Amino acid sequence: MEAVITIVALLFVLFVALGVYATVKVVGAAKRGVDRTLTQARRTVADHTLRAKSFAQLGPAGEIAQLRLTLRTSMRATQDALHAGVAEDESLKESLGLFQRLSAHGQELDAELKRLESEPDRVTLAQRLPSLRERTERITASADSLRWAARDRARRFAEDDLDSLSTQIDVEAGALRHWTTPEPTATSSASPTSASPWPEAPAADEATEGQTWPETPGARTAQEPTRPAITPAAPRPSYPWQKKPRPENTT
């Protein structure tokens, strides 16, 4: 009985611990979501404020607001592009590390520009504007270079994958339509000496040897001897009891 109570108590403690862990995770996720929303809202408000100042204020104050807006927009776009690309391409980790070092300079410049927005000495502020403008351009140029390089790399990978996929699809389509491909004709491999021989001429009949075309009048075959047209009569033998013939002119 005590063993059953112990097992039930352990299961209860385990369920309570799991519940507390799940609650903490949910609260943490909700807190991060709220913080992310607040941060995004503060960024949006700050950007709109800077944009309004750049249009409303004249002179160095308005230019400083424009420099801050340009710096923040470029750095934020590069950060989003690198964080989105590093999840698919591990080689962007080095680029992300370089951007973090660049972000330190950007945040330092942004803080300095923010302090100078309320500077009452406009003459000194105007003297420092060229150096501030140069620093802003260098930082934004480096950030833009990293961002466009990451985008070009992702586009190149997408094009290579699309080319490979198109080639495979063409091969598969050709295999599916195999009946449309003409079959190769079998070429004769027999040599001229292996051709079937001509049929032998029939043996000439002994009775028809010689020329075979029709005879012309008076023509003979080469083997037939020439015979006279009328065979002369052979001399008849004479016997003793026969009378000698009388000459016709005897009277």
Is the CB of residue 75 less than 8 Å from the CB of residue 143?
yes
pLDDT at residue 131, rounded to an integer? 92
pLDDT tier for residue 35 given thresholds of 50, 70 and 90: low
pLDDT tier for residue 211 given thresholds of 50, 70 and 90: very low
pLDDT tens digit sequence for 91-117: 888 888 999 999 999 999 999 998 888
189: tokens are: 């491999």
Q: Is the pLDDT of residue 175 over 90?
A: no
Q: Is the pLDDT of residue 14 over 60?
A: yes
pLDDT tier for residue 219 given thresholds of 50, 70 and 90: very low
Average pLDDT, the chain: 75
pLDDT tier for residue 28 given thresholds of 50, 70 and 90: confident
pLDDT tier for residue 184 given thresholds of 50, 70 and 90: low
Residues in contact with 136: Cβ distance below 8 Å, sequence separation at least 6, in sequence order: 67, 70, 71, 109
Residue 142's CB is within 10 A of a number of other CB atoms, namely 19
What 3-state DSSP class applies to 48?
helix
pLDDT at residue 135, rounded to an integer? 93
pLDDT at residue 203, rounded to an integer? 56
Is the CB of residue 209 less than 8 Å from the CB of residue 223?
yes
pLDDT at residue 246, rounded to an integer? 57
More confident residue, 201 or 174: 174
Over range 135-139, report the average pLDDT: 94
Give the Cα separation of 63 and 137 in Å (integer).
Answer: 13
Q: Is the pLDDT of residue 249 over 70?
A: no
Most confident of 84-88, 191-195, 224-228: 84-88
